[in-house]
Structure 1
Amino acid sequence: MTTAIVRTSLNYKNYNDWKSQIKTYLLAEDLWDIIDEGTDECPKTEEEKAQSKGWKKDAKALYAIQNSCGDDTYDLIKYKTTAKQAWDTLSKKLEKPGGPSNEKEYMSVGEAYQPEVLIEERRTPGAGLDEIQETFVKCVVSNDWDNAINFLRQHPQLGSAIVKWGGTALHYAIRKRCSVRRIQELVELMPMEHLEIPAAFGYTALYWLIRRFPERVEVAKCMAKKNPNLLTILPRWDKKALVAIAQANTRGERMARYIYSLTPPETIKVVDAAHLISHGFRLQRFDIAWDLIQCYPKLAMNTDHNGNIPLVALASNCFAFKSGSRLNLWEKLIYIGIRIKPLPPLDKEKHESDEGHLSDQKENQSHLISSGMGLFQRLVANLQKKFGISRIYQMKLVHERVQQFLPLMCKAVRKEDMNYYQERKLEEALCVATEQGHVEYITNFLRYSSYPVLKVGNQKFQSLFQIAAECRHYNVYNIICEFLRRPDKDGLDKSESGLHSDELKEEVEYVDNLGNNMLHTVAMITPLSQIDHIQGATLQMQRELQWFKEVKSIAEPKDCESVNKDNKTPRKVFKENHKELGKEAEKSMKETATACTVVGSLIITIMFAAAFTVPSENDKNDEKTDLPTFLTNKVFTIFIVSDAISLFSSTTSVIMFLGILTSRYSEDDFYKSLPTKMIIGLFTLFLSIATMMIVFSCGLYIMLEGKSSIVIPSILLASVPVTSFIWMQFPLLLELFISTFGQGVFDRKQKNLF
């Protein structure tokens, strides 16, 4: 045996080519019977080995298989002791799922042999029909359909005449987008078998209609009614069912629903069914997919014609999950207010009767808009378009539908039912879903699937828990934490008692290929770390500290001092990775504090002077008191109180900002000390500005009493600075407050998800 057994070295992509070559080699060497029948285990003694010829042939076949494997595929069989074990392992791990290799298995017998018969018929037309056929063809090509139909009425055999592009008159009429009435007349006059005649490229008129003009459902109805066999006739080069072709077209929703209503689901090929589900998710058409998933949940892990797996493709679709959508406050309120009617469970009687069960599911599409389009309905539709209600409704519809599909699909995922290719694709999908923060996807897998989700890792050998921490997806992190803290066998709920389960400890201790445990991972800022959406370097630094302290709270002391392959502890990794972010946060806080200190100082000066410069005159009739005449006026009282509040609050604000400017800016200061000072400073500055405007308005009212045409507009203008401050600084103040004093992103009180 030479070193190069076959030309092709086996890898994960060329199994079929390798299989053909190695099988030929084994047949030539008279070793294939070893693979077919198998042998006993390796003899233990030298005497048994000498007597066992079958074992020698098995060793020779095993050597041939091992020697033709690449470095990556050899690991799959290096511990196998017989050739049959190695062959079966490679077949299970590397053979990709798919349909039959024989092309004719996708076709009916009539379709396979019909073209030869039709060609023969066309070569021997009736002698007297040559001139009539030529005239008929000219009428069709010139769009003289009245005369063409008269000819066809008198001579039905003209329906098989080749008109143009290798097709019949029906092909031509469909291609020229003739009216439904004309096409119906052609179909009625043509014999049933003529509807099955393929054009030059092998496609029937119905196939061409569905592929190019799927919106013309009425035309398809008349053709399918005349000849139901058309639904099963496909070109040799296209293995997709007609319903799958219609579903993949952006304009083919109605066509797909109609053809699916005529096709019993049990007659649809697995690859076509997976194709229907995949494109149903892609184009947000859930009725057919819902029918198939209810009947056959395991379709979720089958490959379609494009090599995609529905459940795998769903993981990378950020529009399919609420966690992947960014909504502002107004859009969130609309989203919460919308109600979506769930898809009904499968009704077998309707399922076997007609397409009524599909059309019922379209009621949700008109949930917000009435069927009539009167003046009020048009007004409602315009308002919905203006405020984006229809877009948000469609978004929530997709989210609700996916949430309804996921439990059924996840329950059907079982490791023992999958081959190696499907396992790899599913694990990649779980890693992608974790990286993108699709908490709904991960939650349904943890809740319903028996697949060992937490054993999944990426190319860096990171677990899903580590990926969630690295990408800063706190929802996924919390869900996995809760799953790992399930009650133990004695009924002790370890999440409430403050203890950490053994599974959680193992996940925190687990190290990747660089020796990084959970604390090392969260201490690093990588391109996957989602911190750009956080406003300002100060909040980013605070959030990073919160993440590190959170993971540290569930880690053991030895994990905090563990070193990676670079001989660095988690704390050292954190310092090195956050050095630049700390400088940016320090610069940002100093600039903000400096600007606010200047504003606060100006307000102090103004308010101190205002208390002694109010225009007034003393009471001449009361020589004893010598008090201003406005002392008893309510407006004057508001003036004095507001002035005092503005003076004291601005002074407090300046003191807080000075405290920020003189801080030492250590890492721990960004956790609570500096944000707290910033919150107090911004709040008191806002209070001083608001009360300063009240002081101004009261002073103006006192001076110009009785001149409301000047006073009222001036008071309204005084509200502009307050509104501007709220618009520009209040979001930062609110986010700082929630991040510092709120429950935070690591909420322990998730309720009964598992």
Structure 2
Amino acid sequence: MQDEDGNTALALAAIYGDINIARRFVNAEGGEELLAIQNKEGEIPLLMAANSGRKRMTRYLYLRTSSHVIDQQSSHNRVLLLERCIQAHIFDVALKLLKSYEELPIESLPILHQLARMTSAHLQPSLWQTIVYSLKNGKIFLFFLPNSNIQEESTIMDSCGLKSQNRERVLGHKNEFLQILWYYKDIISMFNSSQLREALVYDAMLEAAKHGNVEFINDMREANHDVLRAMDNHGRDIFSYAVLHRKHNVFQLMHTLCGNKDIISYTTDMFDNNLLHLAAHLGPLSDLNLRPGAALQMQREIQWFKVHSSSLVFSLSSAIYSPCIH
């Protein structure tokens, strides 16, 4: 039976995430046929579950739904499911979908933008963010993890007594995220500058800088060094986005990649702003609101300006014009 929208009872269970009901339907005699029934929009229950962000339901339905059913309408369904899984941070299912491809289709490249926008899913906090762990004995540990890798984070968590199951949950998403990026590196490595622009990879790099996603920037840079030339229509590059959006981890990464002396080439955007001008701009309100109170907000802005002005003034006064890419 289907309602006026073409949804079966299993489809409604998929949308609302009731996995016990879903199991009863699928395990009933002939129940697996429900997995293939499309609603009026041509969507099967698996796609609906992913679109609603139902992680457990998506995992269950993906295991029970055959690949033939997923592709029954068009091959676009697989890309759509991949996009929705990444958007909902269901990385384990996304990885299984990627492994099902012999070669990634070009139409999956826009997913790079979703990967670039992620900030918390892969657990890479910026200098201004902290991770807090509460232990059994009531002690609370606050520590920074700027530009750290999985091994370093695991060591810190061990020293703080974090349970192995919790550690796996914390680090699992990051590890899966890095594996997903690995699948896209092969495609990106074969692109020239015009192809990178047409596939909007440059735009994805700027999005990653805006959201503090250093893993994305570093992995794409390893695949194709040309991605570091990303620039928007206003003449602002990755450095500019890092400064303008207060992403210290991205700024530090680029600073490391470019060397201590040739931190930037002396360029300005279409408004004649250099990086020092951008550092003087008021930071994003959503970022400022992390610390309540106007005084603390101003203090943080001053600290940000001091840190970057010292580096930028040194570069500008030395008249270094060498670019980051060699």
Shorter chain as normaliser: what TM range? 0.5 to 0.7
Work out whether residues 214 and 249 of structure 1, in 8 Å CA contact, stay in contact via their aligned partners in 2. Answer: no
Shift of 1:232: 3.1
Q: Which residue of 1 aligns with 2:36?
A: 232
Q: Which residue of 2 aligns with 1:546?
A: 307
> Structure 2 matches for 1:652-667, cutoff 5 A?
none
The secondary structure found in structure 2 opposite 1:330 is: strand
Shift of 1:513: 0.4
> Structure 2 matches for 1:273-672, cutoff 5 A?
273-296=78-101, 298=104, 302=108, 309-321=110-122, 322-323=124-125, 325-328=129-132, 330-332=141-143, 336=154, 337-338=156-157, 368=165, 394-413=169-188, 415=191, 423-424=199-200, 426-448=201-223, 450=224, 452-485=226-259, 500=262, 507-522=264-279, 524-528=280-284, 541=302, 543-555=304-316, 557-558=318-319
1:422–1:338 Cα change, 3 Å: farther
Work out whether residues 519 and 559 of structure 1, in 8 Å CA contact, stay in contact via their aligned partners in 2. Answer: no
Work out whether residues 460 and 513 of structure 1, in 8 Å CA contact, stay in contact via their aligned partners in 2. Answer: yes
The secondary structure found in structure 2 opposite 1:320 is: coil
CA distance in 2, matches of 1:209, 1:537: 49
Higher relative contact order structure (alpha carbons within 8 Å, sequence separation ≥ 6): 2
Look up the equivalent residue of 1:430 and give its one-letter code: M
> Structure 2 matches for 1:19-418, cutoff 5 A?
171=1, 201-204=5-8, 206-207=10-11, 210-211=14-15, 214-215=18-19, 216-223=21-28, 226=30, 229-235=33-39, 237-251=40-54, 253-254=56-57, 256-264=59-67, 268=71, 269-296=74-101, 298=104, 302=108, 309-321=110-122, 322-323=124-125, 325-328=129-132, 330-332=141-143, 336=154, 337-338=156-157, 368=165, 394-413=169-188, 415=191
Shift of 1:289: 0.9
**Larger Rg over CA atoms:** 1
Look up the equivalent residue of 2:104 and give its one-letter code: K
Q: Which residue of 2 aligns with 1:620?
A: none
Number of residue equivalences: 289
Work out whether residues 14 and 57 of structure 2, in 8 Å CA contact, stay in contact via their aligned partners in 1. Answer: no
- Once the two structures are superposed, residues 58-106 of structure 1 have per-residue CA deviations (whole angstroms, 9 ceiling, x without a partner) of xxxxxxxxxxxxxxxxxxxxxxxxxxxxxxxxxxxxxxxxxxxxxxxxx
1:248–1:331 Cα change, 3 Å: farther
Look up the equivalent residue of 1:290 and give its one-letter code: L
- Once the two structures are superposed, residues 111-136 of structure 1 have per-residue CA deviations (whole angstroms, 9 ceiling, x without a partner) of xxxxxxxxxxxxxxxxxxxxxxxxxx
**Where does the alignment leave 5 or more consecutive residues of structure 2 unmatched?**
133-139, 146-152, 322-326
CA distance in 2, matches of 1:219, 1:254: 13
- Once the two structures are superposed, residues 289-348 of structure 1 have per-residue CA deviations (whole angstroms, 9 ceiling, x without a partner) of 111123437369628xxxxx4331233332223225532571449965447xxxxxxxxx
- Please report the TM-score for the alignment, with normalisation by the length of structure 2: 0.68
Shift of 1:557: 4.4
Work out whether residues 130 and 143 of structure 2, in 8 Å CA contact, stay in contact via their aligned partners in 1. Answer: no
CA distance in 2, matches of 1:417, 1:289: 28
Work out whether residues 131 and 142 of structure 2, in 8 Å CA contact, stay in contact via their aligned partners in 1. Answer: yes
Q: Which residue of 1 aligns with 2:150?
A: none
Shift of 1:471: 3.4
- Once the two structures are superposed, residues 244-280 of structure 1 have per-residue CA deviations (whole angstroms, 9 ceiling, x without a partner) of 2233334462464344444137963443223333333
Work out whether residues 315 and 432 of structure 1, in 8 Å CA contact, stay in contact via their aligned partners in 2. Answer: yes
- Once the two structures are superposed, residues 514-559 of structure 1 have per-residue CA deviations (whole angstroms, 9 ceiling, x without a partner) of 123344444x233349788696867754552332121233336457
Look up the equivalent residue of 2:45 and give its one-letter code: L
Work out whether residues 265 and 292 of structure 1, in 8 Å CA contact, stay in contact via their aligned partners in 2. Answer: no
CA distance in 1, matches of 2:17, 2:319: 67
CA distance in 2, matches of 1:417, 1:245: 37
1:429–1:367 Cα change, 3 Å: same
1:398–1:367 Cα change, 3 Å: same
The secondary structure found in structure 2 opposite 1:516 is: coil
The secondary structure found in structure 2 opposite 1:554 is: helix
The secondary structure found in structure 2 opposite 1:412 is: helix
Shift of 1:512: 0.9
1:200–1:417 Cα change, 3 Å: farther
Work out whether residues 434 and 476 of structure 1, in 8 Å CA contact, stay in contact via their aligned partners in 2. Answer: yes
CA distance in 2, matches of 1:417, 1:558: 28
Work out whether residues 472 and 531 of structure 1, in 8 Å CA contact, stay in contact via their aligned partners in 2. Answer: no
CA distance in 1, matches of 2:144, 2:316: 39
- Once the two structures are superposed, residues 593-632 of structure 1 have per-residue CA deviations (whole angstroms, 9 ceiling, x without a partner) of xxxxxxxxxxxxxxxxxxxxxxxxxxxxxxxxxxxxxxxx
Work out whether residues 437 and 476 of structure 1, in 8 Å CA contact, stay in contact via their aligned partners in 2. Answer: yes
Work out whether residues 517 and 559 of structure 1, in 8 Å CA contact, stay in contact via their aligned partners in 2. Answer: no
Work out whether residues 131 and 144 of structure 2, in 8 Å CA contact, stay in contact via their aligned partners in 1. Answer: no
Look up the equivalent residue of 2:91 and give its one-letter code: F
Shift of 1:206: 4.7
Work out whether residues 431 and 464 of structure 1, in 8 Å CA contact, stay in contact via their aligned partners in 2. Answer: yes
CA distance in 2, matches of 1:217, 1:311: 32
More helix by share: 1
1:248–1:323 Cα change, 3 Å: same
Look up the equivalent residue of 1:317 and give its one-letter code: M
1:227–1:332 Cα change, 3 Å: same
- Once the two structures are superposed, residues 207-247 of structure 1 have per-residue CA deviations (whole angstroms, 9 ceiling, x without a partner) of 45544665123323235x62755433323x21223322233
Report percent identity of matched pairs: 14
Q: Which residue of 2 aligns with 1:129?
A: none
1:508–1:252 Cα change, 3 Å: closer
CA distance in 1, matches of 2:17, 2:272: 58
